[in-house]
Amino acid sequence: MKVLVAMSGGVDSSVAAAELKDAGHEVVGVTMRLWGGESDTGCCSVSDVDDARRVAQQLGIDHLVFNFSDDFNTHVVDPYVKAHVDGFTPNPCIECNRHLKFDRLSERARLLGFDAVATGHHARIEKDDEGTMRLARGADDAKDQSYVVHMLDQKELAFTMFPVGHLTKSQVRDRAVELGLRTATKPDSQDVCFISKTGGRETFLGNRIPFRPAQVVNEDGSAAGRVEALELVTIGQRKGLGLPGGGPKQYVVDVDTPNARITVGDESKLFCTSVVVNNIVWSDAADAQRLRVNTDVLVQSSAHGAAIPATVEVLSEAEVRLTWREPQRRIAPGQSVVLYEVTNSFVLAGGIACAN
Protein backbone atom coordinates (compact mmCIF):
# COMPACT_ATOMS: atom_id res chain seq x y z
CA MET A 1 0.00 0.00 0.00
CA LYS A 2 0.99 3.60 -0.57
CA VAL A 3 0.67 5.31 2.82
CA LEU A 4 0.98 8.99 3.72
CA VAL A 5 2.21 9.30 7.31
CA ALA A 6 1.54 12.46 9.29
CA MET A 7 4.87 13.18 10.98
CA SER A 8 4.62 15.75 13.76
CA GLY A 9 8.27 15.56 14.72
CA GLY A 10 7.52 13.37 17.74
CA VAL A 11 8.60 9.84 18.58
CA ASP A 12 5.21 8.19 17.98
CA SER A 13 4.80 9.36 14.38
CA SER A 14 8.49 8.64 13.71
CA VAL A 15 8.07 5.02 14.78
CA ALA A 16 4.74 4.80 12.93
CA ALA A 17 6.57 5.62 9.69
CA ALA A 18 9.30 3.10 10.50
CA GLU A 19 6.80 0.33 11.28
CA LEU A 20 4.98 0.86 8.00
CA LYS A 21 8.19 0.84 6.00
CA ASP A 22 9.31 -2.36 7.70
CA ALA A 23 5.94 -3.91 6.82
CA GLY A 24 6.71 -3.33 3.15
CA HIS A 25 4.49 -0.35 2.44
CA GLU A 26 5.45 2.54 0.18
CA VAL A 27 5.72 5.29 2.79
CA VAL A 28 5.84 9.05 2.39
CA GLY A 29 6.04 11.37 5.40
CA VAL A 30 4.22 14.68 5.61
CA THR A 31 4.31 17.48 8.14
CA MET A 32 1.45 19.95 8.26
CA ARG A 33 2.18 23.62 8.81
CA LEU A 34 -0.79 24.71 10.85
CA TRP A 35 -0.11 27.57 13.22
CA GLY A 36 1.97 30.39 11.82
CA GLY A 37 1.95 32.64 14.87
CA GLU A 38 3.99 32.75 18.05
CA SER A 39 4.53 29.30 19.58
CA ASP A 40 6.81 27.93 22.27
CA THR A 41 4.90 24.72 22.91
CA GLY A 42 2.69 22.14 21.22
CA CYS A 43 3.56 20.46 17.92
CA CYS A 44 3.84 23.22 15.35
CA SER A 45 7.28 24.71 15.91
CA VAL A 46 10.00 25.05 13.28
CA SER A 47 12.10 22.51 15.19
CA ASP A 48 9.28 19.94 14.95
CA VAL A 49 9.21 20.25 11.16
CA ASP A 50 12.99 19.85 11.10
CA ASP A 51 12.83 16.78 13.36
CA ALA A 52 10.25 15.17 11.08
CA ARG A 53 12.30 15.91 7.98
CA ARG A 54 15.48 14.48 9.47
CA VAL A 55 13.72 11.33 10.71
CA ALA A 56 12.38 10.82 7.19
CA GLN A 57 15.95 11.09 5.93
CA GLN A 58 17.06 8.51 8.48
CA LEU A 59 14.32 6.15 7.33
CA GLY A 60 15.02 6.77 3.65
CA ILE A 61 11.54 8.03 2.81
CA ASP A 62 10.34 11.17 1.07
CA HIS A 63 9.08 14.01 3.23
CA LEU A 64 6.50 16.62 2.24
CA VAL A 65 5.22 19.76 3.93
CA PHE A 66 1.59 20.84 3.48
CA ASN A 67 0.58 24.36 4.45
CA PHE A 68 -2.88 24.13 5.99
CA SER A 69 -2.63 27.32 8.05
CA ASP A 70 -5.74 28.90 6.53
CA ASP A 71 -7.80 25.79 7.31
CA PHE A 72 -6.35 25.72 10.82
CA ASN A 73 -7.39 29.29 11.47
CA THR A 74 -10.86 28.70 10.03
CA HIS A 75 -11.64 25.41 11.76
CA VAL A 76 -9.60 25.56 14.97
CA VAL A 77 -8.40 29.03 16.02
CA ASP A 78 -11.45 31.12 15.08
CA PRO A 79 -13.93 28.65 16.67
CA TYR A 80 -11.73 28.51 19.77
CA VAL A 81 -12.01 32.26 20.19
CA LYS A 82 -15.75 32.32 19.44
CA ALA A 83 -16.39 29.53 21.93
CA HIS A 84 -14.95 31.64 24.73
CA VAL A 85 -17.09 34.58 23.68
CA ASP A 86 -20.19 32.35 23.75
CA GLY A 87 -19.39 30.87 27.17
CA PHE A 88 -18.13 27.45 26.10
CA THR A 89 -14.94 25.57 26.97
CA PRO A 90 -13.55 24.27 23.65
CA ASN A 91 -11.16 21.42 22.89
CA PRO A 92 -9.00 22.72 20.01
CA CYS A 93 -6.81 19.62 19.67
CA ILE A 94 -9.85 17.48 18.93
CA GLU A 95 -11.05 20.00 16.34
CA CYS A 96 -7.60 19.92 14.77
CA ASN A 97 -7.86 16.14 14.45
CA ARG A 98 -11.38 16.42 13.08
CA HIS A 99 -10.79 19.07 10.45
CA LEU A 100 -7.09 18.82 9.60
CA LYS A 101 -5.61 15.38 10.30
CA PHE A 102 -8.65 13.33 9.39
CA ASP A 103 -10.39 15.55 6.87
CA ARG A 104 -8.09 17.93 5.04
CA LEU A 105 -5.11 15.56 5.10
CA SER A 106 -7.17 12.55 4.03
CA GLU A 107 -8.68 14.61 1.21
CA ARG A 108 -5.22 15.60 -0.03
CA ALA A 109 -3.95 12.03 0.32
CA ARG A 110 -6.76 10.67 -1.81
CA LEU A 111 -6.12 13.29 -4.49
CA LEU A 112 -2.46 12.28 -4.57
CA GLY A 113 -3.29 8.61 -5.00
CA PHE A 114 -2.47 7.28 -1.54
CA ASP A 115 -4.25 4.20 -0.24
CA ALA A 116 -4.26 5.32 3.40
CA VAL A 117 -3.09 7.92 5.87
CA ALA A 118 -1.36 7.01 9.12
CA THR A 119 -0.62 8.85 12.35
CA GLY A 120 1.20 8.06 15.58
CA HIS A 121 -1.92 8.05 17.75
CA HIS A 122 -2.18 5.38 20.43
CA ALA A 123 -5.41 3.81 19.20
CA ARG A 124 -6.33 0.75 17.17
CA ILE A 125 -8.69 -0.02 14.30
CA GLU A 126 -10.32 -3.46 14.39
CA LYS A 127 -13.31 -5.27 12.95
CA ASP A 128 -16.13 -6.46 15.20
CA ASP A 129 -17.94 -9.78 14.86
CA GLU A 130 -20.17 -8.32 12.12
CA GLY A 131 -17.22 -7.03 10.11
CA THR A 132 -17.79 -3.37 11.03
CA MET A 133 -14.71 -1.18 11.39
CA ARG A 134 -14.24 -0.13 15.00
CA LEU A 135 -12.01 2.36 16.76
CA ALA A 136 -10.52 0.70 19.83
CA ARG A 137 -8.36 1.87 22.71
CA GLY A 138 -4.61 1.69 22.32
CA ALA A 139 -2.62 -1.07 24.02
CA ASP A 140 -1.14 1.38 26.53
CA ASP A 141 -3.99 2.46 28.81
CA ALA A 142 -1.98 5.39 30.16
CA LYS A 143 -1.37 6.75 26.64
CA ASP A 144 -4.65 5.76 24.96
CA GLN A 145 -5.77 8.45 22.48
CA SER A 146 -9.04 6.98 21.20
CA TYR A 147 -10.82 9.89 22.89
CA VAL A 148 -9.12 12.50 20.71
CA VAL A 149 -9.73 10.61 17.44
CA HIS A 150 -13.32 9.57 18.20
CA MET A 151 -14.70 11.45 15.17
CA LEU A 152 -13.66 8.78 12.66
CA ASP A 153 -16.61 7.23 10.85
CA GLN A 154 -16.61 4.11 8.69
CA LYS A 155 -15.19 5.92 5.65
CA GLU A 156 -12.26 7.40 7.57
CA LEU A 157 -11.61 4.26 9.62
CA ALA A 158 -11.19 2.33 6.38
CA PHE A 159 -8.65 4.90 5.15
CA THR A 160 -6.67 5.31 8.39
CA MET A 161 -3.84 3.38 10.05
CA PHE A 162 -2.46 3.62 13.60
CA PRO A 163 0.82 1.67 13.40
CA VAL A 164 1.83 2.14 17.06
CA GLY A 165 -1.58 1.48 18.59
CA HIS A 166 -0.57 -2.06 19.54
CA LEU A 167 2.57 -0.85 21.34
CA THR A 168 3.11 0.66 24.77
CA LYS A 169 4.86 4.01 24.97
CA SER A 170 8.01 2.37 26.35
CA GLN A 171 8.02 -0.06 23.42
CA VAL A 172 7.73 2.87 21.00
CA ARG A 173 10.72 4.59 22.59
CA ASP A 174 12.70 1.33 22.63
CA ARG A 175 12.01 0.91 18.93
CA ALA A 176 13.12 4.49 18.24
CA VAL A 177 16.35 3.90 20.17
CA GLU A 178 16.93 0.68 18.26
CA LEU A 179 16.59 2.58 14.98
CA GLY A 180 18.73 5.48 16.21
CA LEU A 181 15.97 8.03 15.56
CA ARG A 182 16.67 11.56 16.75
CA THR A 183 13.20 11.73 18.33
CA ALA A 184 13.73 8.69 20.60
CA THR A 185 13.95 10.70 23.83
CA LYS A 186 11.94 13.74 22.75
CA PRO A 187 9.27 14.67 25.34
CA ASP A 188 5.62 14.30 24.40
CA SER A 189 3.80 17.40 23.21
CA GLN A 190 0.91 18.13 25.58
CA ASP A 191 -0.13 21.75 25.14
CA VAL A 192 -2.20 23.70 22.64
CA CYS A 193 0.25 24.80 19.94
CA PHE A 194 -1.08 28.34 19.56
CA ILE A 195 -1.17 29.13 23.30
CA SER A 196 2.33 30.13 24.39
CA LYS A 197 3.68 29.32 27.83
CA THR A 198 4.74 32.92 28.30
CA GLY A 199 1.47 34.62 27.38
CA GLY A 200 -1.06 31.89 28.03
CA ARG A 201 -4.75 31.81 27.17
CA GLU A 202 -5.41 35.26 28.62
CA THR A 203 -2.91 36.97 26.33
CA PHE A 204 -3.99 34.99 23.28
CA LEU A 205 -7.67 35.80 23.70
CA GLY A 206 -7.02 39.36 24.90
CA ASN A 207 -5.27 40.14 21.63
CA ARG A 208 -8.35 39.02 19.69
CA ILE A 209 -11.45 39.96 21.65
CA PRO A 210 -12.46 42.61 24.19
CA PHE A 211 -12.92 41.06 27.61
CA ARG A 212 -16.20 41.69 29.43
CA PRO A 213 -16.24 42.22 33.20
CA ALA A 214 -18.80 40.16 35.08
CA GLN A 215 -20.41 40.13 38.48
CA VAL A 216 -19.94 37.05 40.66
CA VAL A 217 -22.99 36.21 42.77
CA ASN A 218 -24.04 33.58 45.28
CA GLU A 219 -26.93 31.26 44.51
CA ASP A 220 -29.31 33.63 46.29
CA GLY A 221 -28.23 36.45 43.96
CA SER A 222 -26.17 38.36 46.51
CA ALA A 223 -22.90 39.89 45.36
CA ALA A 224 -19.81 37.76 45.96
CA GLY A 225 -17.04 39.12 43.74
CA ARG A 226 -16.09 40.34 40.30
CA VAL A 227 -13.99 39.21 37.35
CA GLU A 228 -12.53 41.33 34.57
CA ALA A 229 -12.84 38.66 31.89
CA LEU A 230 -16.03 36.62 31.68
CA GLU A 231 -14.51 34.79 28.71
CA LEU A 232 -11.83 33.18 30.90
CA VAL A 233 -14.26 31.61 33.37
CA THR A 234 -15.46 28.01 33.14
CA ILE A 235 -17.72 25.67 35.08
CA GLY A 236 -15.96 24.23 38.13
CA GLN A 237 -13.42 27.05 38.41
CA ARG A 238 -12.48 28.01 41.96
CA LYS A 239 -9.71 30.61 41.70
CA GLY A 240 -9.54 34.09 40.21
CA LEU A 241 -13.13 35.02 41.07
CA GLY A 242 -12.47 37.96 43.38
CA LEU A 243 -13.98 36.11 46.35
CA PRO A 244 -13.04 36.96 49.93
CA GLY A 245 -10.73 34.45 51.60
CA GLY A 246 -11.33 32.40 54.71
CA GLY A 247 -14.75 30.98 53.88
CA PRO A 248 -15.81 27.60 52.47
CA LYS A 249 -14.60 26.69 49.01
CA GLN A 250 -16.78 28.16 46.26
CA TYR A 251 -16.93 26.96 42.66
CA VAL A 252 -18.41 28.37 39.46
CA VAL A 253 -21.73 26.56 39.03
CA ASP A 254 -23.21 28.72 36.25
CA VAL A 255 -21.93 31.16 33.63
CA ASP A 256 -24.66 33.45 32.32
CA THR A 257 -22.94 34.92 29.28
CA PRO A 258 -25.76 37.21 27.99
CA ASN A 259 -26.13 38.87 31.40
CA ALA A 260 -22.41 38.76 32.31
CA ARG A 261 -23.11 37.02 35.59
CA ILE A 262 -21.28 34.15 37.25
CA THR A 263 -22.90 32.11 40.00
CA VAL A 264 -20.81 30.33 42.63
CA GLY A 265 -21.79 27.62 45.10
CA ASP A 266 -20.37 24.71 47.04
CA GLU A 267 -18.94 21.68 45.26
CA SER A 268 -22.13 19.66 45.63
CA LYS A 269 -23.83 22.03 43.16
CA LEU A 270 -21.43 20.87 40.44
CA PHE A 271 -22.89 17.37 40.41
CA CYS A 272 -25.69 16.28 38.08
CA THR A 273 -27.40 13.10 36.91
CA SER A 274 -27.44 13.66 33.15
CA VAL A 275 -26.03 15.62 30.25
CA VAL A 276 -27.17 16.24 26.67
CA VAL A 277 -24.50 15.80 24.00
CA ASN A 278 -24.97 17.14 20.47
CA ASN A 279 -22.99 17.24 17.22
CA ILE A 280 -22.74 13.47 17.57
CA VAL A 281 -20.54 11.54 15.15
CA TRP A 282 -21.26 7.81 15.10
CA SER A 283 -18.49 5.31 14.44
CA ASP A 284 -21.15 3.28 12.64
CA ALA A 285 -24.45 4.95 11.68
CA ALA A 286 -26.34 1.77 12.58
CA ASP A 287 -25.50 2.34 16.25
CA ALA A 288 -27.86 5.32 16.35
CA GLN A 289 -30.73 2.86 15.89
CA ARG A 290 -29.27 0.05 17.98
CA LEU A 291 -28.83 2.26 21.05
CA ARG A 292 -32.13 4.13 20.83
CA VAL A 293 -33.60 2.71 24.05
CA ASN A 294 -31.63 3.30 27.26
CA THR A 295 -28.46 1.27 26.72
CA ASP A 296 -25.50 0.89 29.05
CA VAL A 297 -22.33 2.60 27.86
CA LEU A 298 -19.08 3.93 29.27
CA VAL A 299 -18.52 7.68 28.97
CA GLN A 300 -15.24 9.59 28.90
CA SER A 301 -15.17 13.40 29.03
CA SER A 302 -11.44 14.17 29.03
CA ALA A 303 -8.39 12.80 27.27
CA HIS A 304 -7.17 10.75 30.21
CA GLY A 305 -10.25 10.74 32.42
CA ALA A 306 -11.97 7.65 33.77
CA ALA A 307 -14.70 5.97 31.75
CA ILE A 308 -17.93 6.32 33.77
CA PRO A 309 -20.96 3.97 33.47
CA ALA A 310 -24.10 5.61 32.09
CA THR A 311 -27.15 4.89 29.99
CA VAL A 312 -27.66 6.56 26.63
CA GLU A 313 -30.93 7.75 25.11
CA VAL A 314 -30.72 8.66 21.43
CA LEU A 315 -32.76 11.84 20.96
CA SER A 316 -31.86 12.20 17.27
CA GLU A 317 -29.07 11.12 14.95
CA ALA A 318 -27.06 14.12 16.16
CA GLU A 319 -28.02 14.26 19.85
CA VAL A 320 -28.11 11.94 22.87
CA ARG A 321 -28.88 12.21 26.57
CA LEU A 322 -26.54 10.45 28.99
CA THR A 323 -27.77 9.53 32.46
CA TRP A 324 -25.19 8.58 35.07
CA ARG A 325 -25.69 5.67 37.42
CA GLU A 326 -24.43 7.96 40.16
CA PRO A 327 -24.28 11.80 40.11
CA GLN A 328 -21.15 13.08 38.39
CA ARG A 329 -19.37 16.40 38.27
CA ARG A 330 -20.80 18.49 35.45
CA ILE A 331 -18.99 18.57 32.12
CA ALA A 332 -18.16 22.08 30.97
CA PRO A 333 -20.27 22.99 27.89
CA GLY A 334 -18.11 22.70 24.78
CA GLN A 335 -16.05 19.75 25.98
CA SER A 336 -15.96 16.52 23.98
CA VAL A 337 -17.81 13.49 25.33
CA VAL A 338 -17.07 10.00 23.97
CA LEU A 339 -19.19 6.85 24.33
CA TYR A 340 -17.62 3.39 24.54
CA GLU A 341 -19.06 -0.12 24.48
CA VAL A 342 -19.35 -1.60 27.97
CA THR A 343 -18.06 -5.04 27.03
CA ASN A 344 -14.97 -3.97 25.09
CA SER A 345 -12.88 -0.94 24.19
CA PHE A 346 -14.74 0.10 21.04
CA VAL A 347 -15.77 3.73 20.49
CA LEU A 348 -19.45 4.12 19.67
CA ALA A 349 -19.77 7.88 19.17
CA GLY A 350 -18.63 11.26 20.36
CA GLY A 351 -19.99 14.79 20.51
CA ILE A 352 -20.03 18.08 22.41
CA ALA A 353 -21.51 18.64 25.86
CA CYS A 354 -24.41 21.10 25.95
CA ALA A 355 -25.11 23.56 28.73
CA ASN A 356 -27.25 22.00 31.48
In the set 43, 44, 96, 354, the catalytic residue is 96
Neighbours of 239 (CB within 10 A): 6
- Active-site choice (43, 193, 272, 354): 193
Torsion of CA 318, 124, 9, 338, to 10 degrees: 30
Structure letter (DSSP) for residue 317:
T
Give me the numbers of helices (H) and strands (E) for the chain, helices first please. 10, 17
Smallest Cα–Cα separation from 152: which of 118, 190, 103, 194?
Answer: 103
Please indicate whether residue 44 is annotated as part of the active site: no
CA Rg value for the chain: 22
Choose among 1, 282, 281: nearest CA to 118.
Answer: 1
DSSP-assigned letters across all residues of 152-213: --HHHHTTEE-TTTTS-HHHHHHHHHHHT-TTTTPPPP-S-TTS-TTTHHHHHHHTTS----
Report the alpha-carbon distance of residue 260 to residue 256 in Å, rounded.
6
- Helix H segments across the chain? 11-22, 46-59, 69-72, 78-86, 92-96, 105-111, 154-157, 169-179, 200-206, 287-290
Amino acid of residue 23:
A
The answer to whether 96 is a known catalytic residue is: yes
The rounded distance, in Å, linking the Cα atoms of 52 and 66 is 13
Cite the active site residues.
Answer: 96, 193
